[in-house]
Amino acid sequence: MSFPKKGKFFPKQTGYDGEASDSFAQVIAATLRRELGESRAGVKTVEGWTGANEKTIKNWFAGKYGPSGEHLVALVRHSDEVLIAFLAMAGRENLKLASSIFAAERAVVEALEVLRELSERLPGGTSDD
């Protein structure tokens, strides 16, 4: 596979099933739209995360270009969905699974904390003191 000499496009790659997969820009676009919607608020959210200008971010949402360098790192820092999509494109399914397990574990811990707090507020609630 050869990479283009200029631009922010990746050539089509063969996926796990032998079919041509979407480009990097298209996968990031679909991920951003799924997580944030296609509204101006989604663009503003990504602007806050990355510091990129609005036109650039609209190009990401449209799949015309994909983020690179610091912008990609910023997206991954703020979006588990982008991280998972990135790991899948990199063929690192094992890390994708680990990330999903970690996120689920974190959600369970947070839910348990809320339940403990609620149970302590109830009359006759238990306390660890």
Q: What is the pLDDT of residues 109-129, one digit of tens each?
A: 999 999 999 999 888 766 555
Helical axes 40-50 vs 24-36, angle rounded to 10°: 110
For the cut 50, the answer to whether the pLDDT of residue 4 exceeds it is no
Q: How confident is the model at residue 17 (pLDDT cuts 50, 70, 90)?
A: very low
The answer as to whether 22 is a domain residue is yes
Q: What's the pLDDT at 93?
A: 74
- 39 and 20 in a single domain? The answer is yes
Q: What is the pTM of this model?
A: 0.61
Which segments of 7-68 does DSSP mark as H helices, in order? 24-36, 40-50, 54-62
For the cut 70, the answer to whether the pLDDT of residue 30 exceeds it is yes
Structural domain span for residue 56 = 13-91
Task: Tell me the C-alpha distance between 75 and 28, whole Å.
Answer: 10
Q: What's the pLDDT at 13?
A: 46
The answer as to whether 40 is a domain residue is yes
- 57 and 23 in a single domain? The answer is yes
Q: What's the pLDDT at 127?
A: 54
Taking only the tens place, the pLDDT of each residue in 34-80 is 999 988 999 999 999 999 999 999 999 999 999 999 999 999 999 98
The answer as to whether 25 is a domain residue is yes
Angle at 10 between CA 6 and CA 15, to 5 degrees: 165
* 127 or 84, higher pLDDT: 84
